[in-house]
Each structure stands twice: as C-alpha cells, then as structure tokens.
Amino acid sequence: MIQIIPAIDIIEGRCVRLSQGDYGRSKVYDAKPLDMALAFQDAGITRLHLVDLDGAKQSKPANLKVLELLASRTEMEIEWGGGIKSLDALRSVFDSGATYGICGSVAALKPELFREWLLGYGPKVILGADIRDGKVAVNGWLAETELGIEELIDMFAGDGLDNVICTDISKDGMLQGPAFELYKDLQQCYDAIDITVSGGISGMEDIEKLDESGLRKVIVGKAIYEGRITLKDLERWSLNA
C-alpha cells in the first residue's frame, strides 16, 4: 500500500499552508508543529515531511529548532526540505535530527554538487523536483529553469538515486486532486525510484486512486488541516498498510 506522509510546512515556527507556492497566499493554522507531529505519530504515521519555507527563501535552514524538537520528541523518520544549498546546511539538517534531506535547487542548478552528496550520503538524500508548466522551479518556487522533470531525474538515475519528491505547483494547496497521469507515467518510467506524490490531494479517494496506480508514497498537507482527511483516516490506512 502507498505510504501516507503528512506534511508540516513552517514559517516562523508556525504551521502554514501555501496555495500554488505563493507566499502571499499563506494560511496560518493554530496547531503547533509538535502537537501535529505527535498526533500523526499516534495515528500510526512513521514518516513526516517537514518543510522550512523561511529557509527556502533565505537559502539556508531557518527553523532547525523545530526540527530538533520534533526529532527529540517523536520516533518518526523526518524528511526535511528548505534551504539546503551547501554541504554545511545538509550536515546541519542531519545533525538536527532529520533522517532525509530533500534537495531541489542544488540538483537543478549545481548538479555536480548534488551528485557528490548523493554518492556520499546515498538514500538519505532525496531529489526534490518541483514543477510548474512542465519546468523545474527552484529557490522556494520563486524562479524557474528550462529543465523538464525527466531531464532532471535522468541526470542522477545512475548515481543511486532512489527517491524523488515531485510537486506539481499548480496543484499544491488547491485541494482539487493531483496530476494522476503525471505520477503514474513517472513511476512506470522509473521503476527503481520511488516517485513521491506531492500536491493537490483532496481526500482519501485520491490516495486510493494513486495506490491503485502503483504509486508508493504520497505527501498530504492541506487536506488534513482542512479536515478532508482525518486522523482516523490516517489510522485506518496505517493499520492496513
């Protein structure tokens, strides 16, 4: 069964969600990151997607205290994204308790550097491929490249890459369903790599459809915070996984 990975996006230490990657269209939620993480863990979740939106804009991790707190108070694996632009930043993320580091902008703009990290850290390094209108976006989705997602994956497919988180920015935070065909095609094309779905999940029916299509991992954010997917839903899915 597909693994559900709840997301916690952070600005200034608080849980937020953006719509289509637009920082000007952010919604702040009352829940504290630790409270949400503990609730997810109690529901049987074993992996958490933690995004430092401040770090993505500042090009360096900015909310490591939150990471340290969640890593010390939960037993979940944590994948961290946001601001990993240097080896020091990558090390600081791992030192603060992350199990995985998600790197997107470096992979697209400095592929040789990302390849060094991938060869050095293996599966602890995840490729973040955020796309808008078919092209890879970088620097907190504030800029775009001329790379397509297949071009980006092909750069590293022979270097031990085993996990790609693909976010369709046009779908992210919109609660209108993910780009099903995109993810199905990618997973079929890259069988040795886990293609993690990110963006657009509106309810459990989307997750069931992705599962039937052979996808292996899915990140869920706004649908949880807006009550479209409940903790009970997560618990039932975890028990059947």
pLDDT in tens, 20-44: 555 555 565 667 999 999 999 999 9
Residue 178: the pLDDT is 96
Name the pLDDT band for 140 (thresholds 50, 70, 90).
low
- Name the catalytic one among 9, 52, 168, 206: 9
Residue 116: the pLDDT is 97
Degrees, nearest 5: CA angle 43-47-48: 90
Question: Between 170 and 32, where is the model more confident?
Answer: 32
Average pLDDT of the segment spanning 214-240: 95
Cα distance between residue 99 and residue 77, in whole Å:
6
Range of the domain at 9: 3-240
Cα distance between residue 123 and residue 101, in whole Å:
9
Distance from CA of residue 99 to its chain's centroid? 13
**pLDDT averaged over every residue in the chain:** 92
- Name the catalytic one among 130, 194, 206, 233: 130
Cα distance between residue 157 and residue 155, in whole Å:
6
Residue 72: the pLDDT is 98
For the question of residue 9 being annotated catalytic, the response is yes
Sequence-ordered alpha helix ranges (H) in the chain: 33-42, 53-58, 64-73, 87-95, 105-109, 111-121, 149-156, 180-189, 204-212, 222-225, 231-240
CB-based burial label for 24 (10 Å; 0-12, 13-18, 19+): exposed
What is the domain count for the chain? 1
DSSP helix/strand/coil, 78 = strand
Please list the residues that pair with 195 across neighbouring strands.
164
Residue 106: the pLDDT is 94
pLDDT in tens, 228-237: 999 999 999 9
Residue 166: the pLDDT is 96
For residue 187, give the CATH number of its domain.
3.20.20.70
Average pLDDT of the segment spanning 37-58: 95
Phi, psi of 64 (to 5 degrees): -65, -25
Average pLDDT of the segment spanning 129-145: 83
Question: Between 135 and 17, where is the model more confident?
Answer: 135
Residue 13: the pLDDT is 86
For the question of residue 52 being annotated catalytic, the response is no
Question: Between 50 and 175, where is the model more confident?
Answer: 50
Average pLDDT of the segment spanning 61-67: 96
